């Protein structure tokens, strides 16, 4: 699976700026804003012999996220 690198390094902040630009009417929709502002700068491919390890680690991450979801909500309510 190819992984594309883009010109935006601050994903959440850039996403918020895109949403604001659409809301303000600079772009007609999110698709237009993204196709205008986000550009692929490089593409990388995983090292073949590491794919099974990546899959294993990602499965652990998904399990942890599911187990911690309620904890994240509790932390958010107390922040």
3: Cβ–Cβ under 8 A, 6 or more apart, which residues?
Answer: 43, 44, 45, 46
pLDDT digits 0-9 by tens, 28-53: 999 999 999 999 999 999 999 999 99
Other Cβ atoms within 10 Å of 14 Cβ, number? 16
d(C-alpha 46, C-alpha 8), whole Å: 21
pTM > 0.75: no
Q: State pLDDT tens for residues 5-29.
A: 999 988 999 999 999 999 999 999 9
């Amino acid at each position: 699976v190819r992984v594309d690198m883009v010109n935006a390094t601050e994903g959440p902040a850039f996403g918020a700026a895109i949403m604001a630009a659409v809301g303000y009417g600079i772009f007609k929709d999110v698709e237009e804003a993204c196709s205008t502002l986000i550009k692929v700068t490089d593409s990388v491919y995983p090292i073949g012999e590491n794919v099974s390890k990546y899959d294993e680690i990602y499965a652990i991450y998904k399990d942890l996220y599911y187990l911690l979801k309620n904890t994240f909500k509790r932390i958010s309510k107390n922040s």
